[in-house]
Amino acid sequence: MRKFSFVFLLTLLLALMGTTVLSQDMMYNESPMLAAQVEAGELPAVEERLPSNPTVVTPLNEVGQYGGAMRVGFVGDNPGWGGMWYVAGWENLVSWAPDFSGIVPNIAESWEISDDVREYTFHLREGMKWSDGEPFTADDIMFYIEDVLFNEELTIGGPTADWLPREGADEFTAEKIDDYTVKFTFANPYGTFLFTLAQWNGRHMTWFPKHWLSQYHADYNENVDELVAQEDGVENWVGLFNKMASGPTDDTNNYFNIIGRPLLFPWIPSTVLGGNTQMNMVRNPYYFKVDTEGNQLPYIDELVGVSYQDNEARTLAMINGDLDYVKDPGDNRILYFDAMDSGAPINISAAISDGGNTNSIQFNRNTEDPAIAEMFQDINFRIGMSYAINREEIIEIVHLGQGTPAQVAPLESSPLYNEQLATQYVEYDVDSANEYLDMVIPDRGDDGYRLSPDGEPMTLIFTVPNNLSYGSNWVQVAELLIGYWDAVGVRVQLNSIADDQFTEQYESNNIQITMYTGEGGAGLTGMLDPRYYVPGELFGLYGNGWYFWYVNSQEATQVEPPEEIQAIRRQFEEVGRQPSQEAQVEAMKEILQIAADNFWVIGISRPGPGFQPYNTRIGNQPSEWIAGWIEGVQKIKYPEQWYIIE
């Protein structure tokens, strides 16, 4: 395989997971918990449970020991999104190297890519098994492609999937070469397919155990209606299949609500949430990975997921040592550090955000009032609004002095770095702000506020989601912004709402100005998640209607993009079709230059490191790591090699 090297700001002291260690001549060890079951005749021997060539994971610091239970705390009734997904899930055909430097084999042992990057051949691991002991083979992948993706009842409106480019989706074909080999052929070149597979988007490939799910599929079981009648909350076989498969409709709660569904994950659910505030997971005896000494992973025997109703109670439990891990610890940085200094049993690792910015400020060009929309489309307006922002003050007040003023852009360490995009218009300069705003909305009313382009008094609405677990300080930022804009005569009103209302608002095009995350910073993330560089992506709320036009939904909100926008999108599609990474980067750089010239969104600052508390009991934790959605949040730290130090 090609090793990619993109240099990061930090050279992480992480060894690359060994991919070339020959494991055939290994002796395998297993957890005492499983050894006892083998002894009792309940399980086959470890050699028979592992594939002939298991995936070898190099432990971060040292070879761990078996046993124990790790307690993960989450807020609410959703274990998956609350944290379990990123620890006990996310096993795709390929993975990220732990330092995010490229792709390494995971479920797939190896692969070949054709020169025109249209054909991908994946080799699976011989003897690999689902958590119920049944073989995992090419048939399972084919079942997904043929019976789910191309089944018109399960996938409505033709084959659509996160990993499948919309253009030419119908012509995509998959072919089973033998039990352990599948070949995918795409209609167009698809140079970024492996990156896509390593992310959340690639989850479906290894998500569907054919031997178990076919009983819920009408094509395989003509008596499926009897099962439908027995199952609560479903009215037809499609509902039943989706419930059992947790997909393709993706209501991923199901994973943690159904016991006995075959999985490939390191831990599988053993009790579900409901009557109590706790759910449990137990190690998967057939998990396909070993460490460098042939110990079957994971090291930790059990996971306990504890549901809290309130982050403060969870924080107290964490500081008190009643928990080992929490995702999104909230705004309690100082509390955690103080507790650590005063001897609480916690360590803290730095989450180096892969984001291009702390926030993106977006002006919806498709907003309903044509005069306002036209104003938002005028680059001088956005330049003026950007100069008006005192970024140093926001960093000082909200981000505790962490970070530097910047626009939303790839980081300096990224091969995609574009200086103009990152640094233009970030100075705090009220005079320039007024100068640029005067070019667009020069007239002021009696109260000193600027009038709208058609001469009316104007109050812009700034819609901010206020309850996202990772957006705890957004409203603070928004309030400061409103003050800065007020000072240059633009009257803005804060509309702070809960995230589900926010969804409603942008789906119905009720957004004027809004604020969201700033994806696209580290490495190639700017190419993999280009929402702030290429208009018409989901959450590119500056072109809200364009996105809905592209995916053909929310008809009332759809706006056909003008030709120059469509041209940019066509050009972006070419990026993914480049055969080599160098060519992809080159093509993406052109897109980023277009983004720099158009100045789609305003950014605030480069994020400082986030913090991740964990209990001192947990070993093999990095002191810092690249954190983000694309990396699988915690998954890039390979939780299967964490262990409990007792």
Partner 1 sequence: MLLTVWVISIISFVLIQLPPGDYVTNLVSEMMAQGADKISPEVVSALREQYGLNDPVYVQYFKWIRNIVLEGDFGYSLTFKRDAVEIIMERLPMTFILTSASVIFIWAVALPVGIFSAVKQYSIADYVATFVGFIGLAVPNFLFALILMYLSYKYGGKALIGLFSEQYANAPWSWDKFLDLLNHLWIPVIIIGTAGTAGLIRTMRANLLDELNRPYVDAARAKGLPETRLIWKYPVRYALNPFVSTIGWVLPQLVAGEVIVSIVLNLPTSGPVLFNALMDQDMFVAAGFILVLSALTVVGTFISDVLLAVLDPRIRLA
Nearest 5°: CA angle at 375, between 456 and 406? 130
Determine how β-strand 325-326 pairs with β-strand 108-113.
Answer: unpaired
For partner 1, the binding residues in 259-298 under the rule CB under 8 A are 271-278, 280
Residues 486 and 133: their CA atoms lie apart, in Å, by: 65
**Running DSSP on this structure, what letter comes out for residue 450?**
B
| Closest approach of partner 1 to the CB of residue 469, in Å | 6
Binding mask 54-83 vs partner 1 (x if CB under 8 A, - otherwise)? -----------------x----xxx--x--
For partner 1, the binding residues in 420-449 under the rule CB under 8 A are none
Question: Which residue from 501, 571, 593, 616 is in contact with partner 1, where contact means CB under 8 A?
Answer: 501
Closer residue to partner 1, CB minimum distance, 489 or 540: 540
| Closest approach of partner 1 to the CB of residue 133, in Å | 25
Residues 271 and 279: their CA atoms lie apart, in Å, by: 5
Residues 166 and 119: their CA atoms lie apart, in Å, by: 17
| Closest approach of partner 1 to the CB of residue 483, in Å | 27
Pair 44, 277: CB distance under 8 Å: no
| Closest approach of partner 1 to the CB of residue 313, in Å | 5
Signed CA dihedral, 525, 526, 527, 533: sign only: positive
Question: Which residue from 517, 615, 620, 621 is in contact with partner 1, where contact means CB under 8 A?
Answer: 517
Binding mask 461-480 vs partner 1 (x if CB under 8 A, - otherwise)? -------xxx----------
For 588-602, b/e burial (b = at least 16 CB within 10 A) is bbebbebbbebbbbb
| Closest approach of partner 1 to the CB of residue 431, in Å | 38
For partner 1, the binding residues in 200-219 under the rule CB under 8 A are 200-201
Which whole-number Å values give the CA distances from 448 to 291, 384, 433, 462, in the listed order? 68, 17, 16, 20
| Closest approach of partner 1 to the CB of residue 315, in Å | 10
The length of the chain in residues reads 646
Q: Cα-flanking dihedrals φ and ψ of residue 592, to 5°?
A: -65, -30
Which whole-number Å values give the CA distances from 225 to 218, 232, 245, 247, in the listed order? 8, 13, 17, 19
Residues 233 and 247: their CA atoms lie apart, in Å, by: 16
For partner 1, the binding residues in 594-633 under the rule CB under 8 A are 628-629
Binding mask 216-255 vs partner 1 (x if CB under 8 A, - otherwise)? ----------------xxxx--xx--xx----xxxxxxx-
Cα end-to-end distance, the chain, whole Å: 39
For partner 1, the binding residues in 550-569 under the rule CB under 8 A are 551-554
Closer residue to partner 1, CB minimum distance, 128 or 559: 559
Stretch that binds partner 1, among 102-110, 362-370, 429-437, 548-556 (CB under 8 A): 548-556
**Running DSSP on this structure, what letter comes out for residue 248?**
S
For partner 1, the binding residues in 149-168 under the rule CB under 8 A are 155-157, 160, 162
343 binds partner 1 (CB under 8 A): no
Question: Which residue from 28, 150, 212, 539 is in contact with partner 1, where contact means CB under 8 A?
Answer: 539
| Closest approach of partner 1 to the CB of residue 317, in Å | 6
The token pair that represents 295 in the structure block: 């110990």
459 binds partner 1 (CB under 8 A): no
The token pair that represents 125 in the structure block: 């691991």
Q: Which residues pair with 359 in a beta bridge?
A: none
Binding mask 297-336 vs partner 1 (x if CB under 8 A, - otherwise)? -------x-xxxxx-xx--xx-xx-x--------------
